[in-house]
Amino acid sequence: MSSMTETCRLALTPGEPAGIGPDLCIAAAQQAQAEELIAVCDPELLTERAARLRLPLALEPFDPERPPTPSVPGRLLFDAAATLAAPAQAGELNPANAAYVLNTLRAACDGCLNGRWDAMVTGPVHKGVINDAGLAFSGHTEFLAERCRRDGEPTPTPLMLLATPGLRVALATTHLPLAEVPKAITEPLLERIIRIMVNGLRERLGIPHPRILICGLNPHAGEGGHLGHEEQAVLIPVISRLQAEGMDLQGPLPADTVFVPHRLQQADAVLAMYHDQGLPVLKHLGFGQAVNVTLGLPIIRTSVDHGTALDIAGTGRANLGSLTAAIALAAEMVQTTR
């Protein structure tokens, strides 16, 4: 895939079959796309949901030997890498289909690793029902990192970054209970995360000299040690070392003033220390239009910024905005890395 103008092949995983992921895939297929989209799923799921939504959908099996072509309205390629264990009912979770969901993710990830497609775009999964089925699962980010591990090598460190127009936020820790966050933020982890973030912004997003704002862990960034010691013990030493290497880093900064407009105008991204420190601000700004990106992996992966929305699955009320943005960003990242 050497040509800069070659059509991108994007694997699309609908996620939880009872949620809005299938609805979004079908809605995306109603529009012309500059990219070739391949739904990695049980085609019967899409056929049945399209009938419920009363939307036209012509499904065609993916042929890797055929040159990629842009998607046309009403047509969607599929790769039947997994089969539902039980019929999927919109809005009704079924643990029997949990393994199916993970199998679609494995197939999409493996296809990116072996060059079958250029990137993967993921729909929302339901962590609870997967764990209820007895399958340990903390999220896409960690699952894909483990799947990308090469024999004899450590698991890649993934970095979750969410992007919406005007703001990019990465997370030093992802799906951890709040009580576990302070001990998880060590000097080795933080240095690794910042290096991944800088390299990812350069190599995947085409930002040659990333400017990054780094949040403190504690209120007021620790108030000089009076409101916590992590800034002095961990954050400041790491930031100082990397600044000495030439990285454009500011911090640790109080999280309650990092997101004011004049600071964001001087930065390309913000690094938050934990999930709910950074994401409420981003989702307030761009919910339904934001994209979740996983940096630090040997593959390109983007995702929607929302959950399964079981209450509106199969109703036609799902908002396509985040999936559209995730598809566009995945394609942009592919072109950047070619």
Residue 127 annotated in ligand binding: no
The answer to the question of whether 141 is labelled as a binding residue is yes
Degrees (nearest 5) of the Cα angle 112, 90, 144? 25
Q: Which residues contact 221 (CB under 8 A, 6 or more apart)?
A: 215, 231, 251, 252, 253, 254, 255
Query: Does the annotation list 164 as a binding residue?
Result: no
Strand 75-79 and strand 248-253: the pairing is unpaired
Residue keyed to tokens 């460190």: 157
Q: Is 44 helix (H, G, I), strand (E, B) or coil?
A: helix
**Are 279 and 164 a contacting pair, CB within 8 Å?**
no
Question: How many other C-beta atoms can be found within 10 angstroms of the C-beta atom of residue 4?
Answer: 6
Q: At how many degrees (to 10) do helices 321-337 and 21-28 cross?
A: 70
- 229 annotated as belonging to a binding site for a ligand: no
Cα 76 to Cα 118: distance, rounded to the nearest angstrom: 17
**Residue 319 in marked binding region:** no
List of long-range contacts for 107-112, beta carbons under 8 Å, 24+ apart: 107/11, 107/40, 107/79, 107/81, 107/82, 108/11, 108/13, 108/40, 108/81, 109/144, 109/147, 109/148, 109/299, 109/301, 110/147, 111/11, 111/40, 111/79, 112/11, 112/299, 112/300, 112/301
Residue 301 annotated as part of some ligand binding site? yes
Binding residues for a divalent metal cation: 175, 220, 275
Binding residues for substrate: 140-141, 283, 292, 301
Binding residues: 140-141, 175, 220, 275, 283, 292, 301
